[in-house]
């Protein structure tokens, strides 16, 4: 029976919510987190860390430090590995950093489990839909296809549609299932793919069941309002609260599978509790929502008068659509999303309205990407 759970990155957005949910269910939780400046700010007294401070055993340490991992693994029955650098855009010009934290950090943790984690009965890895790249599509002539990254010559002409890799005709997005082709188009996605393979192979050799959760676009209370690299709902919210206009890439019709935080946590808890269940599972809503709809919905909720500009600009490494097939998660984990996007975004906005207005760092992030040649 699983009683003691280690969460690496347990003070982050997903990690802190999972920490509190497990504690409420009677689990004994240990958190290993380095309180990254980008997530927690200069003072390291963030909303997220404050939500778990003093409530669980907390170890301030680094996933890349074997001694920190050894200390955190004492008497643990399960490990939920969430510590990672996130964000596709930033990963394209901080390659060494992403590989060091996501790949090397995972290697150090797995070595520590082999040496000191003799009680561990389950490993849950927080992965990402980024491993799919563009995901699964259907061509009217060639059936199911898995397009590669879009051609820059098309993007430069304002043609943002996904093309069939065979005939170069426009194709339509399909539900992407866990057996879909893996071919990430960002460094972040590549590091998550490698993480998956490392954890899967190591779990098999140690005879530990491994559940890999490929989260779609998770949003909800606690998402950083000062980090301009991840979470478009947070980025848009901070822009609006600062009375700054919204810049939407491409034609605004690019879409994402947005899953509310509580639903993502529900799936994660089920993966922990079902001790013997192993495999790869999508965690999403199964519904695609366009970026333009997101911006307009937030504007309406906040009563904002900022302008929404569909710029036609684009970032290299961005995908066009993603839409998750949830069949496996429903059948094996019993995961069924409870929150519609309409309800979830309202709850998120209510939380934002209760927070102080954060400094808007968005323009700096765009300028940084422009200098790196990744923003057109």
Residue at a domain's end among 174, 196, 227: 174
In a domain, 253, yes or no: yes
Check residue 93 and give its pLDDT: 87
Check residue 366 and give its pLDDT: 81
Check residue 364 and give its pLDDT: 84
Specify whether 49 is located in the same domain as 145: no
d(CA 163, CA 165): 6
Specify whether 156 is located in the same domain as 264: no
Specify whether 237 is located in the same domain as 301: yes
Specify whether 312 is located in the same domain as 346: yes
Specify whether 274 is located in the same domain as 147: no
Check residue 42 and give its pLDDT: 66
Here the CATH number for the domain that contains residue 36 is: 3.40.50.720
Give the N- to C-terminal CA distance of the chain in Å, as an integer. Answer: 52
Specify whether 258 is located in the same domain as 329: yes
In a domain, 376, yes or no: no
In a domain, 355, yes or no: yes
Specify whether 91 is located in the same domain as 16: yes
Domain containing 243 equals 4-136+175-371
d(CA 219, CA 230): 10
Q: Establish whether 188 is a catalytic residue.
A: yes
Structural domains in the chain (count): 2
Q: Quick check: 281 and 267 in contact, CB under 8 A?
A: yes
Specify whether 72 is located in the same domain as 159: no
Specify whether 163 is located in the same domain as 182: no
Specify whether 146 is located in the same domain as 121: no
pTM above 0.85, yes or no: yes
Check residue 258 and give its pLDDT: 97
In a domain, 234, yes or no: yes
Check residue 309 and give its pLDDT: 94
Catalytic residue among 49, 98, 188, 362: 188
Q: Which residues of the chain have pLDDT under 50?
A: none
Check residue 44 and give its pLDDT: 58
Check residue 83 and give its pLDDT: 96
Specify whether 218 is located in the same domain as 302: yes
In a domain, 263, yes or no: yes
Residue at a domain's end among 174, 198, 221: 174
Specify whether 228 is located in the same domain as 293: yes
- Residue for token pair 């199964």: 286
In a domain, 241, yes or no: yes
Assigned token pair, 45: 């007294």
d(CA 334, CA 287): 18
């Amino acid at each position: 029976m699983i009683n003691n759970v280690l969460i690496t990155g347990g003070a982050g957005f997903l990690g802190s919510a999972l920490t509190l949910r497990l504690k409420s269910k009677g689990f004994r939780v240990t958190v290993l987190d380095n309180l990254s400046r980008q997530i927690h700010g200069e003072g390291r007294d963030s909303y997220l860390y404050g939500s778990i401070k003093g409530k669980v055993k907390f170890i301030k340490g680094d996933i890349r430090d074997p001694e920190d991992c050894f200390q955190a693994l004492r008497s643990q029955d399960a490990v939920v590995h969430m510590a990672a650098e996130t964000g596709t855009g930033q990963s394209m010009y901080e390659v060494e950093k992403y590989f060091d934290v996501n790949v090397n950090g995972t290697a150090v943790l797995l070595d520590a489990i082999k040496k000191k984690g003799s009680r561990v009965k389950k490993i849950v890895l927080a992965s990402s839909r980024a491993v799919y790249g563009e995901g699964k599509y259907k061509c009217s002539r060639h059936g199911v296809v898995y397009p590669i990254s879009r051609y820059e010559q098309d993007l430069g002409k304002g043609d943002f549609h996904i093309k069939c890799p065979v005939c170069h005709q426009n194709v339509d997005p399909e539900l992407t299932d866990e057996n879909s082709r893996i071919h990430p188009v960002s460094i972040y996605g590549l590091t998550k793919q490698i993480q998956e393979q490392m954890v899967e192979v190591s779990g098999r050799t140690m005879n530990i069941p491994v559940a890999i959760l490929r989260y779609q676009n998770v949003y909800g209370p606690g998402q950083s309002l000062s980090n301009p690299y991840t979470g478009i709902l947070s980025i848009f919210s901070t822009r609006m609260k600062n009375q700054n206009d919204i810049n939407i890439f491409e034609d605004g019709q690019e879409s994402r599978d947005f899953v509310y935080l509580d639903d993502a946590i529900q799936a994660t808890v089920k993966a922990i509790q079902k001790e013997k269940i192993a495999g790869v599972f999508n965690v999403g809503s199964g519904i695609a929502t366009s970026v333009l709809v997101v911006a307009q919905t937030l504007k309406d909720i906040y009563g904002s008068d900022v302008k929404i500009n569909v710029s036609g600009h684009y970032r290299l490494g961005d995908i066009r659509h993603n839409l998750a097939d949830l069949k496996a998660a429903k059948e094996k984990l019993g995961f069924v999303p409870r929150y519609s996007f309409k309800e979830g975004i309202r709850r998120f906005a209510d939380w934002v309205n209760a927070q102080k207005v954060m400094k808007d760092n968005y323009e700096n992030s765009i300028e940084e990407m422009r200098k790196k040649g990744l923003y057109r």
